[in-house]
Amino acid sequence: MEPGWLSNAYALADAEGGTAVFVDSGADPAPLLDAVERWGATPAAILRTHGHPDHVTWEDDLRERFDIPVVAEPGEWTWGGLAVRGIATPGHSDDMVAFVAGDEIVFTGDTLFKDAVGGGDPARVRASVMDVFMAMPDSMRVLPGHTDETTIGRERGHNPFVRVWSGAEPEGTERVTVGGRGATLIVWSPDYDGKGKAWVRFDDGSDAIVGGSRVTR
């Protein structure tokens, strides 16, 4: 994990002496390179969840070092024993892709975190979370773009955004301001940076998902 951005980068292999892929490259790749060497695995691709700088910093270095492609779109691939599906999950960014490995792990990028979701277009974030991720089994491991691992089941039961979107909890009614604009706080959640995440509805009826530091309660 990169200590400034708190962004994650991953390496995944099918077996010792087998095939590996990298997922995002915004964190120091040294631990990933050490892992791949320890496994005796051959890297085959870099999976990019989205193109924001905190997720692609080391991408060119890895691509040139191993002469491997960057995969950044929906589709299905097999590298050695690794079967991977890419699913479009726009909202935080237009190019966001989640990668499912072996129906056991999903790399969610900046769309779904432990206890929170990514900022961006609220309707599209909601659709990506509820229609894509919440259709997955509870046992699915969630490896997000920032900080802590979680599971689909844990987020279904505890993520404040998911609970409101699913109807398990009502929308909030607290009055707040965001950048001097009056708004209603629909959801407040913890976030990976310790500052919270908020879904707000402005007085003109428009919605936004914003960092908690922007909200005055």
The whole-angstrom separation of Cα 36 and Cα 115 is: 30
The whole-angstrom separation of Cα 22 and Cα 120 is: 25
pLDDT at 2: 60
DSSP-assigned beta bridge partners for residue 207: 201
- What is the full per-residue pLDDT of the chain (217 aa) written as tens digits? 666 778 999 999 999 999 999 999 999 999 999 999 999 999 999 999 999 998 999 999 999 999 999 999 999 999 999 999 999 999 999 999 999 999 899 999 999 999 999 999 999 999 999 999 999 999 999 999 998 999 999 999 999 999 999 999 999 999 999 999 999 999 999 998 889 999 999 999 999 999 999 999 9
- Right CATH number for 170-217 from 3.30.300, 1.10.287, 2.30.30, 1.10.20? 2.30.30
User: Domain locations in the chain?
Assistant: 10-169, 170-217
For residue 72, give the 3-state DSSP assignment. Answer: coil
- What fold, for 10-169? Metallo-beta-lactamase; Chain A (3.60.15)
pLDDT at 6: 81
pLDDT at 1: 64
Any idea which residue has 């530091």 for tokens? 213
pLDDT at 54: 87
pLDDT at 153: 99
- In tens, the pLDDT along 136-158 reads 999 999 999 998 999 999 999 99
Any idea which residue has 């051959």 for tokens? 42
Give CA 210 to chain center in angstroms.
16
